[in-house]
Structure 1
Amino acid sequence: MNDVPLPYRVTQVRDETADTVSLALTPAGPTSLAPFAPGQFAMVYAFGVGEIPVSVSRIDRRELVHTVRSVGAVSAALCALRPGAHVGLRGPFGTGWELDRATGQDMLVVAGGIGLAPLRPLVFDALAAPRAYGRMNLLIGARTPHDVLYSQQVHAWTAAHGPLHCGVTVDRPAPGRLGHVGVVTTLLNGARFEPRNTTAFICGPEVMIRATARDLLQRGLPAHRIRVSLERNMRCATGHCGHCQLGGVLMCRDGPVIGWDRAESLLSVREL
Structure 2
Amino acid sequence: MNEYYPNFAIIKEIKKETINTNTFVLKFTDQKIADKFSWKPGQFMMLSVLGVGESAISISSVENDNSINATIRNVGNVTNSIFSLKKGDSLGMRGPYGTGWPLEKIIGKDILIVAGGMGLAPLYGVINHVIRNRTEYGHLEIIYGARTPENMVFKDEFSKWKRIKNSTFFLTADEITRENPFECRTGLVTSCFPMMKTHHRNAIALLCGPEIMMRFAAKCLETIGFADKKIYLSLERRMKCGIGKCGHCQIGLKYVCKDGPVFNYDDIKPFIRPL
Structure 1 and Structure 2 fold alike (TM over 0.5): yes
16-25 or 71-80, larger mean C-alpha shift: 71-80
User: CA separation in 1, counterparts of 2:172 and 2:239?
Assistant: 27
Task: Provide closer, same or farther for how the CA distance between residues 161 and 52 of structure 1 changes in structure 2, counting only shifts above 3 A.
Answer: closer
**What does residue range 84-95 of structure 1 map to in structure 2 within 5 Å?**
84-95=88-99
Per the alignment, residue 142 of structure 2 pairs with: 138
- The letter for the 1-side match of 2:6 is P
Which of 66, 74, 80 is 2:78 aligned to? 74
- The letter for the 2-side match of 1:234 is M
**What does residue range 1-272 of structure 1 map to in structure 2 within 5 Å?**
2-32=3-33, 34-61=37-64, 62-158=66-162, 160=163, 162-177=165-180, 179-268=184-273
- The letter for the 2-side match of 1:58 is S
Task: Provide closer, same or farther for how the CA distance between residues 80 and 154 of structure 1 changes in structure 2, counting only shifts above 3 A.
Answer: farther
- The letter for the 2-side match of 1:127 is I
- The letter for the 1-side match of 2:100 is G
Q: Deviations over 1:92-146 (max 9, x none)?
A: 1100002121111110011000000010001100111111111101110000010
Query: How far did 1:161 drift?
Result: 5.8
Residue aligned with 1:83, SS:
coil
Q: Give 4+ residue runs of structure 1 displaced > 6 Å after superposition.
A: none
TM-score by length of 1: 0.94
User: CA separation in 1, counterparts of 2:246 and 2:178?
Assistant: 47
User: CA separation in 2, counterparts of 1:120 and 1:129?
Assistant: 14
| Contact 1:43/1:90, CA 8 A, preserved across alignment | yes
Residue aligned with 1:54, SS:
strand
User: CA separation in 1, counterparts of 2:126 and 2:56?
Assistant: 19
Q: Deviations over 1:124-173 (max 9, x none)?
A: 00111111111101110000010010111123323x26333111000010
Q: Percent identity at matched positions?
A: 33
Residue segments in structure 2 that go unaligned for 5+ positions in a row: none
| Contact 1:138/1:166, CA 8 A, preserved across alignment | yes
Q: What is the total number of aligned residue pairs between the two structures? A: 269
Residue segments in structure 1 that go unaligned for 5+ positions in a row: none
TM-score by length of 2: 0.93
Q: Deviations over 1:71-107 (max 9, x none)?
A: 1010111122211011111111100002121111110
User: CA separation in 1, counterparts of 2:7 and 2:214?
Assistant: 33
- The letter for the 1-side match of 2:132 is A
